[in-house]
Amino acid sequence: MIIIPAIDIKNGQCVRLAQGDFNRVTVYGENPVDMARLWEEKGAQRIHVVDLDGSVAGLPKNASIVADIARSVSVPVEVGGGIRSMETIHHYLGNGVSAVILGTAAIQDETFVREAASTYPGKIILGIDALGGRVAVHGWTQKTGQDAVELARRYENDPIAAIVYTDIQRDGMETGVNVEATRALAKAVNIPVIASGGVASMDDIDRLLSVKDCSFFGVIVGRALYTGAVSLQDAVARAAKQASNPKEESP
């Protein structure tokens, strides 16, 4: 399992939202590119970027910044937020981004998602954001009745790279990752799952690492890294140790 720092961009700044609420914003940096470089220096193996403005608008609003991030670091960069067309996917992948995340499209336009996955196999990630197990779309501003696991299963036969599963209620709150819901999804599908939302301390990293009946590709950490509640270097080292000693219990 790899540790993936999150960089959320709003109005060109690096921010975090509380429970996806655009009225509860904390600014953590004026320059997202510098933040990406910092996380790479501290050992990040991958960086998760979200264009928050784009997620609501339905089209990229910070694409130039995302491209600058991808060019400025050597580790893979994944991006989500407002990606609803093949043109946008082509633009991002052609400008150094390693994978794009399709969230709203996953539930509203299956044909598009399948076309994207077949055109760019291994480059498409599903973003499944859920509240009480039910999917939310359009930057979490609209709730649906769609079950998260059922949605994931629709794409099992497509060349999807991974699923980012976010518990909205916990995101940005540092209340602890929803291990059970993430585990249930990982056990239900054969697509690699990335945990997201609520990581508060190293205990959450350990809880994910201690799951024995399935594995997670990675975990996205946001606010806890910015507040210092989690040290990226320590988290990366802990995950690496577990990978080299899989039978060893997490401390």
Q: Which residues are catalytic?
A: 8, 129
103: which residues sit within 8 A by CB, 6+ positions away? 55, 80, 126, 127, 128, 129, 137
Burial of 19 (0-12, 13-18, 19+ CB in 10 A): middle
Q: Beta partners for 13?
A: 10
Residue 154 three-state SS: coil
Euclidean distance between CA atoms 129 and 185, whole angstroms: 12
